[in-house]
Amino acid sequence: MTVKFGTDEWADALVAEINGSSEYKNAAKNWATDFNGNMLFAFEADDQLKTPLQLLIRLKEGQCQGADFIDAANHDDAGFVLRAPFSLWKDILERKTLAATAILTGKMKVDGGKMTLLKHTAANRALIHCTASVETEF
């Protein structure tokens, strides 16, 4: 079922995708055991998105405890922020670009412990895979 991006239904579909993924569960079993593993995906406004959107994803030990679109560009509950123009995020969601490549080339900004992200590369790759697996209507 295709879900409209930026809606509560899309956030709920992402939670279901993450929690239904054995790949994510196994790769992220040690994610957030001793640090804040919540992620904030910041979709910055550009020519394809007029108003910025932020998605707070609450993650711990291979499970997603919820996801919500929020009004703030930052959030105290976020341990990590991935920030990029919406057009780049859309390319990631459509599997045209890898998030890791976007980070390494500086097109996507990361706030939070980059060494922690590197240590848990498989978990983060699985999270992005789940995000891209939501059938999305833009």
Q: Is the pLDDT of residue 118 over 90?
A: no
Mean of pLDDT over the chain: 95
pLDDT at 129: 96
**CATH classification of 3-137, choosing from 3.30.1050.10, 3.30.360.10, 3.40.50.150, 3.40.50.2000?**
3.30.1050.10
Strand, coil or helix: 101: helix
- What does the domain layout of the chain look like in residue ranges? 3-137
Mean pLDDT of 4-23: 98
Which pLDDT band holds residue 81 (cuts at 50, 70, 90)?
very high
pLDDT at 73: 72
pLDDT at 126: 97
Q: Residue 20: CB partners within 8 Å, gap ≥ 6? A: none
* Single pTM value for the model: 0.94
pLDDT at 88: 98
Using one digit for the tens of pLDDT, what is the confidence trace for 35-56?
A: 999 999 999 999 999 999 999 9
Cα 75 to Cα 120: distance, rounded to the nearest angstrom:
22
pLDDT at 90: 97
pLDDT at 38: 97
